[in-house]
């Protein structure tokens, strides 16, 4: 079995001397991380924060989009794009899992105290990058819609769906939109899959966190693809019952991400 250094030489990837070392993991590690995330959720039900903060905001946004047809085409990009911000939104969950792993008090007071961490500047900077990707995705989605279907009058949701599903431009919008969305998702995933837990745990700088996260994806491309598909599938399932399932899915995924980080990065 080749070492990380040898693998990096073969792939042409440069490992900085100060960067944390990345392990090769398997799909069994993903299942274990997910199970441990669920155990953390049961021990410290973290859905309260998501109910108190995320769902009222999401409800207001979705209600506004439903009644305002002139921005209805952004409904799917907006809902899908929220996943780009997930790693940033879950920083309190990483801290809960970290403290629980070490046998420390893991109450919500400590989760919220993460905003007083000495690494809050780095956390905020990475969060700003993800927010920028999210906003850029919305702009790209809107420009694509205006280019392909902007001339069609948007009189109702039904008319919009008819244009999308029964015209050549509509199917072009579906294919191109999903392809571009996948590109944004891959970028966000690569730079953030383990970045926030690493910053919280070791207080590394932004460049080191992003490089290490990308290295983790490069060292485990197949397994990380499976993880991304698992996250996507669980988010979709959580959204089906009018977003109610996300009350459980999002916290479990947040906790599981911490355990994924612990498996990928050498101590």
Are residues 105 and 99 in contact, defined by beta-carbon separation less than 8 angstroms?
Answer: yes
Highest mean pLDDT among 94-108, 179-193, 240-254: 179-193
CA–CA gap between residue 77 and residue 249 (Å, rounded): 20
* pLDDT tens-place string over residues 150-209: 776 777 778 888 888 899 999 999 999 999 999 999 999 999 999 999 999 999 999 999
Return the domain boundaries, the chain: 44-264
Higher pLDDT, 66 or 111: 111
Highest mean pLDDT among 2-6, 115-119, 221-225: 221-225
- Say whether 22 sits in a helix, a strand or coil: strand
- Say whether 112 sits in a helix, a strand or coil: helix
Q: Give me the sign of the Cα torsion angle 190, 170, 158, 141.
A: positive
- Quickly state the pLDDT bin for 2 (edges 50, 70, 90): very low
pLDDT at res. 222: 97
CA–CA gap between residue 138 and residue 81 (Å, rounded): 8
Q: What is the mean pLDDT of residues 134-150?
A: 91
Higher pLDDT, 37 or 75: 37
Hey, how many other C-beta atoms are within 10 angstroms of the C-beta on 115? 11
Residue recorded with tokens 């944390």: 20
């Amino acid at each position: 079995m080749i070492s990380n250094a040898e693998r990096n030489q073969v792939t042409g990837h440069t490992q900085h001397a100060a960067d944390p070392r990345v392990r090769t993991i398997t799909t069994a590690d993903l299942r274990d991380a997910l199970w441990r995330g669920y155990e953390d959720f049961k021990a410290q039900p973290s859905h309260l924060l998501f109910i108190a903060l995320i769902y009222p905001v999401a409800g207001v946004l979705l209600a506004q989009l439903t009644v305002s047809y002139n921005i209805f085409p952004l409904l799917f990009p907006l809902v899908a794009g929220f996943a780009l911000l997930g790693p940033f939104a879950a920083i309190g969950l990483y801290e809960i899992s970290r403290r629980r792993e070490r046998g420390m008090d893991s109450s919500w007071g400590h989760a919220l105290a993460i905003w007083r961490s000495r690494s809050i500047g780095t956390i905020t900077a990475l969060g700003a990058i993800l927010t920028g990707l999210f906003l850029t995705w919305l702009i790209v989605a809107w420009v694509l819609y205006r280019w392909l279907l902007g001339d069609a009058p948007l009189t109702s949701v039904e008319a919009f769906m008819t244009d999308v599903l029964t015209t050549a431009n509509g199917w072009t919008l579906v294919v191109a939109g999903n392809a571009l969305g996948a590109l944004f998702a891959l970028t966000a995933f690569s730079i953030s899959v383990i970045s926030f837990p690493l910053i919280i745990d070791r207080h590394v700088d932004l460049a080191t966190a992003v490089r290490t996260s990308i290295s983790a994806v490069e060292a485990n491309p197949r397994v990380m693809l499976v993880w991304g598909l698992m996250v996507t599938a669980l988010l979709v399932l959580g959204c089906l019952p009018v977003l109610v399932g996300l009350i459980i899915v999002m916290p479990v995924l947040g906790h599981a991400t911490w355990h994924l980080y612990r498996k990928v990065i050498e101590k």
